[in-house]
A and B are shown apart, each in its own frame.
Chain A
Amino acid sequence: MKYVIMFTFDPELDAQVSEERMQGLYGRANQWYGENAAQIVDGGAQLQPVETATTVKYGESGSVVVDGPFSEAKEVVGGFSVIDVPDMDAAIALVRTWPFLELPGWGVEIRPILTIASQSEE
Chain B
Amino acid sequence: MSGSDDAARPDDASAPGGEVAASDLLLSQVVREQSGRIVAALARSLGSLDIAEEAVAEAVEEALRAWRKGGIPQNPGAWLTQAARHNALDRLRREKRYREKLIGMLPGIDSESAAPEDSWADSFGEVDDRLSLLFGCCHPALAPEAQLALTLRAVCGLTTAQIARATFSTEPATAQRIVRAKRKIGATGIPLRIPDATDRAARLDIVLTIVSVMYNEAHLVAGGDAAADRDLADDALWLAGVIAAALPREAEAHGLLALLLFHRARESARSVDGELVLMADQDRSRWNQTLIVRARAELEQAARLRRPGRWQLHAAIAACHADAETAAETDWLQVLVLYDLLLGYDPSPVVRLNRAVALDRVGAPTAALTEVDALEGQLTRAHLWHAVRAHLLRRLGRDDEALVADLHALELTANEAERRLLAARTGR
Contact = CB atoms under 8 A, between A and B. Distances in A.
A89 B199 contact: yes
Contact of B183 (A86, A87, A117, A122): A122
A28 B269 CA distance: 61
Interface string A109-122: 01010000110111
B220 interface: no
Nearest to B50: A121
Interface in A57-101: 86-89, 91-93
B143 to A, nearest CB: 15
B186 A121 contact: yes
Contacts, number: 35
Interface string A1-34: 1000000000000000000000000000000000
B195 A121 contact: no
B249 to A, nearest CB: 21
Nearest to B193: A89
Contacts of B199: 89, 93
A88 B186 contact: no
Given A88-B141, A121-B48, A122-B183, A1 B189 contact: yes
Given A88-B139, A89-B199, A117-B97, A112 B189 contact: yes
Contact of A89 (B48, B183, B195): B195
Q: How large is the interface on A (under 10, 10 to 19, 20 to 34, 35 or more residues)?
A: 10 to 19
Contacts of A92: 141
Contacts of A87: 189-191
A5 to B, nearest CB: 13
A118 B187 CA distance: 6
A118 B186 contact: yes
Contacts of B50: 121
B190 to A, nearest CB: 5
B188 interface: yes
A122 B191 contact: no
Contacts of A117: 97
Contacts of A122: 183, 186-187
Interface string B197-229: 001000000000000000000000000000000
A88 B189 contact: yes
Contacts of A121: 48, 50, 186-187
Nearest to B198: A93
Q: Which of B141, B187, B190, B191 has the most CB of A within 10 A?
A: B187
Interface string B149-188: 0000000000000000000000000000000000100111
A27 to B, nearest CB: 26
Contact of B191 (A88, A112, A120): A88
Contacts of B186: 118, 121-122
Interface of A: 1, 86-89, 91-93, 110, 112, 117-118, 120-122
28 contacts: A1-B189, A86-B191, A87-B189, A87-B190, A87-B191, A88-B139, A88-B188, A88-B189, A88-B191, A89-B190, A89-B191, A89-B195, A89-B199, A92-B141, A93-B199, A112-B187, A112-B188, A112-B189, A117-B97, A118-B186, A118-B187, A120-B95, A120-B97, A121-B48, A121-B50, A121-B187, A122-B183, A122-B187
Given A88-B190, A91-B189, A120-B97, 5 more contacts: A88-B188, A89-B195, A92-B141, A118-B186, A118-B187
